[in-house]
Structure 1
Amino acid sequence: MKDLSIMSKQAKSKPINFSDDISPRVVPIVHHTLKNYGKNFFIWIGPKPRVYITDPEQIKDVFTNIGEFRKPHINPLSRLLISGVVSYEGEKWVKHRKIINPAFRIEKLKGMTNAFYQSCNDMISQWERLIGEEGSCELDIWPYIENLTGDAISRTAFGSSYTEGKRIFQLQKEQAEFVMKALQSVYIPGWRFLPTKMNKRMKEIDREVRTLLTEIINNRERERKAGNATNDDLLGILLESNSTELRESGNEKNAAMSLTDVIEECKLFYFAGQETTSVLLVWTMVLLSKYPNWQVRAREEVLQVFGKNKPDFDGLHHLKVVTMILHEVLRFYPPVTVLNRAVDKDTKLGNLIIPAGAMIGLPIILIQRDCELWGDNANEFDPERFSEGVSKATKGQLSFFPFGGGPRLCIGQNFAMMEAKMALSLILQHFSFEISSSYTHAPFTIITLQPQFGAHIPHQHVVVSSIEHSNDSSSSSHLDDVLESLPEIDDRFFTLPCTNSHRPQQQDDKLNFQNLGSVSFYWASLVSLNSVPELGDPKNQAQAQNSADPELDG
């Protein structure tokens, strides 16, 4: 336990070079074990073994067979932050997934485009005011992007109740900090019931969030019953879908969500909707500043499609280069680095038999940088690999799954991608930026993969001149390829650890666990297309417990 804590602390104690593999810093024990014992390995997490799976076919089986490979139980304190559909199993998961699905369909997202624009444009305006007449300033974009995504989820989730929504976001952000402190400490059963300062504050936050959400939901229900409600935000769509499910079941009591269920899903909207998009955007900014040739290509596409005009839903769909870049960022810096599953009985997985009680680990960060799966340039940033879509890039294998996979594919991936495209389009319309020599590269995980020292930017004012544009961009003509990034959700899916490699198995073998061996950017003015220069910790203590970190795949 002590040695494991030391390894994690050492990994985070110093930054790395931009060209370095981030795995030793982000998942040090997993990377160390794989390097020394090969791809088939397990480690002990307290009293439980965790088997790491890296074979795409076996990963596919884990995602597909959700009855055999369930979500692990989370730390009880985590439920004060998130619960909802991501943590449910069986019939309850099926019911919630079916009711929530309509809120995240493409046609519903189209109605949220204006809310995305308002939130993104507010951030752009803040940056321009900070630059002022002097034409330059330095700021950390990370908190601005966090606020942007929190603002966007407040608008899209609650619409007219936006002010109350902002307060809930602030409370949930505070709650997330407390939850992380709890997860980074050794779990002691019953500790959460003691009247410690942190425990009392966490319960106060939970009560206030529930009170605010109850008031919003009850007001919306009254409006809906009076025929005055609009269904253009996530809450409105969710309540309408819930009402439809209840009506179609003949008012069967357990067919629809209860008020408590709706509250939990709203809390989940906040956390998952804000976290995923914010880390996707900040790493996209970092990588585009490091690789200015891709920044130029993305800007040319955005200006060709929109010019100086407000980005719209159809135009965002036409952004092929931007979509390629976002896919490559998700491959390079996935929001969640490892997904976990649990088995309750001896379970066959390929040529392995996983014993009851074991955990399964799917190391996304390692699989998406595996040279055997992605080629010799797996550790190079190259969006061109996605030029013909995800299926072509992965050769039909399940080696790219930043949003999970199978029936529990993240229900909000379309939402995250659309918001990221809107924000990136507006940033590229207004700013040009490049990496600074003072940049400190230090990715680390606090549930999601974040920049440890923020993203500080020397900033210069930008002016965009009139630019000829067309909604029929030649570089974006293959709309079907682009739409692959936004798939329609199918309603039918509702002590230092002891390590060893597995011996080669030709037959089904049961595993024997006793014997098995601060970012800085330079912002430049955009006068016209022709003027753009061509430019080529908190302690992470081990937990000997049966619970796991909250996960965002649904």
Structure 2
Amino acid sequence: MKKKTGTKSVISTTPEGSSSNVTHDIHSTVFPYFSSWQKSHGKVFVYWLGTEPFLYVADPDFLKKMSGQVLAKCWGKPSVFKRDRDPMFGNGLIMVEGDDWAMAGLMVDSTTKMLDKWATHINSGNPEIDVEREITATAGEVIAKTSFGISYDNGRLVFEKLRSLQMTLFKTNRFVGVPFSKLLCPGKTLEARRIGKEIDQIFLSIVNARKESINQGQLQTDLLGLLLKESQVGGKGRTLSSRELVDECKTFFFGGHETTALAITWTMLLLAEHQDWQNVLREEVREVIGDKEVDATLLGGLKKMGWVMNEVIRLYPSAPNVQRQARGDIQVGDQTIPKGTNMWIDVVAMHHDPALWGDDVNEFKPQRFKDDIHGGCKHKMGYLPFGFGGRMCVGRNLSFMEYKIFLTLILSRFSFKLSPNYSHCPAIMLSLRPTQGLSLILQPL
């Protein structure tokens, strides 16, 4: 299947209650082929990536029936994607979570430092800031410190290299499933391998240094410390190798900062459009937190901020699709999905389906989630911001906390609106991201 070589700016007439001409009807932009094929083949059909057949699913009822027939161990990631993304993730899986509550202080410190930098930039006469890059870099710093004990410099270095690797792997056409596909793009393949090895070396030096400190009796209880301590897997007494530890670190580092950073970024886009919701959240922060220091125990009281987050990840899910591979035959009604079948579950399509959400599906309405954790969706499987089943994202609680800390501190110090230079070009580069960044005009309060 051919991939789209570029992105287009998604512009419409100004919708009611919005201060910009950005439209959030994005499915045909980020997945143009699927959007077109749905019109001809419906919400469940088979397509091919090279020699690999895939079952496309954008029907929550079919998804429910299918997932009801399997246990978590019967799902897996398609091997074709594992090969394609090997330089970035290796064979890593997100295994454990750190101590969420102990991380709050470090999150506040890193976010405050970012906001001080913004204030200096604004005071110098430059109120326009690309907040996407700033937020993503700071989220990378947070995960580097809290999960791996990595220094600021090393954290930034890993972030820059992962971003470069992401652009190399996902910005241009790829030949997923095509035999000998790596030979078709030798330059990109070699570049991805080079960057991947550089990232491996950084994490390998961190793992080796931590092992040495443990041998000297110095214990740390962050994610890397837990991985080293609890590396007995499968009850067979096998210790994770350095290679496996590096893969776990890469996977968690990427997932731990990218998902939350993008949720915050898209939130700032939507709040820049909807100034009324900036004011609503700012007032809630004053009521719940007031003059007290931001800490994890207070964040649960930010209910309306929770509505906003749920609506943002409905419109712009950081994980825009879910891939699975059947580890055994799956029976769905009178149909059999054979063992080994790849599946592509289109989250964006379901999150933007008017049959599930109503005619206002593409409008920003956080109040959908006031009294309903599914936002009024007509089918519970139609809202999948964190995946589903036994392989749902394990970092949800950490993401919620980081999201609320970032947004609380930002709203307490700045108001913001879209820059005239902003171009709305959401696209898939593993995650759903603004390809031209997010330029905002900020004003200190």
Q: Which amino acid aligns with 1:76?
A: R
2:386 to 392, 397, 403: 403
**1:337 shift after superposition:** 1.8
Question: Which residue matches 2:226?
Answer: 237
Distance in 2 separating the partners of 1:159 and 1:261: 18
Q: What SS does the corresponding residue of 2:437 show, helix, strand or coil?
A: coil
Aligned residues of 1:23 and 1:365 also touching (Cα < 8 A): yes
Question: Which residue matches 1:113?
Answer: 104
Write out the 4+ residue segments of structure 1 that deviate beyond 6 Å after TM superposition.
none
Aligned residues of 1:62 and 1:69 also touching (Cα < 8 A): no
Distance in 2 separating the partners of 1:290 and 1:140: 16
Residue correspondence of structure 1 range 231-310 to structure 2 within 5 A: 231=221, 233-242=222-231, 245=232, 252-254=236-238, 256-310=239-293
Pick closer, same or farther for the CA change 1:434–1:213 going to 2, 3 Å: closer
Q: Which amino acid aligns with 1:26?
A: V
Aligned residues of 2:50 and 2:175 also touching (Cα < 8 A): no
Question: Which residue matches 2:158?
Answer: 168
Structure 2 unaligned runs (5+)?
13-21
How many percent of aligned residue pairs carry the same amino acid? Answer: 30
Matched, 1:450 2:433: yes
Matched, 1:80 2:97: no
Question: Which residue matches 1:494?
Answer: none
Pick closer, same or farther for the CA change 1:376–1:160 going to 2, 3 Å: closer
Pick closer, same or farther for the CA change 1:369–1:351 going to 2, 3 Å: farther
Matched, 1:149 2:139: yes
Distance in 2 separating the partners of 1:276 and 1:316: 19
Aligned residues of 1:343 and 1:356 also touching (Cα < 8 A): yes
Matched, 1:219 2:226: no
**1:196 shift after superposition:** 5.2
Number of matched pairs: 433
Q: Which amino acid aligns with 2:322?
A: L
Pick closer, same or farther for the CA change 1:208–1:30 going to 2, 3 Å: closer
Q: Which amino acid aligns with 1:71?
A: K
**1:239 shift after superposition:** 2.2
Question: Which residue matches 2:10?
Answer: 15
Task: Provide TM-score, normalisation by structure 1.
Answer: 0.71
**1:75 shift after superposition:** 5.2
Aligned residues of 1:53 and 1:362 also touching (Cα < 8 A): yes
**1:53 shift after superposition:** 2.3
**1:358 shift after superposition:** 3.9
Q: Which amino acid aligns with 1:21?
A: D
Question: Which residue matches 1:205?
Answer: 195
Structure 1 unaligned runs (5+)?
87-96, 463-525, 527-554
**1:211 shift after superposition:** 2.9
Aligned residues of 1:77 and 1:182 also touching (Cα < 8 A): no
Question: Which residue matches 2:218?
Answer: 228
Deviations 1:111-135 (A, max 9, x none): 111121122112101110001164x
Deviations 1:415-461 (A, max 9, x none): 2222111111111000112335554322111111111222122333x
Pick closer, same or farther for the CA change 1:147–1:165 going to 2, 3 Å: closer
**1:206 shift after superposition:** 3.3
Pick closer, same or farther for the CA change 1:350–1:367 going to 2, 3 Å: farther
Aligned residues of 1:154 and 1:169 also touching (Cα < 8 A): no
Aligned residues of 2:56 and 2:346 also touching (Cα < 8 A): yes
Q: What SS does the corresponding residue of 1:388 show, helix, strand or coil?
A: coil
Aligned residues of 2:5 and 2:172 also touching (Cα < 8 A): no
Pick closer, same or farther for the CA change 1:21–1:193 going to 2, 3 Å: closer
Q: What SS does the corresponding residue of 1:51 show, helix, strand or coil?
A: strand
Question: Which residue matches 1:472?
Answer: none
Matched, 1:158 2:159: no
Pick closer, same or farther for the CA change 1:314–1:208 going to 2, 3 Å: same
Distance in 1 separating the partners of 2:391 and 2:225: 23
Question: Which residue matches 2:332?
Answer: 349
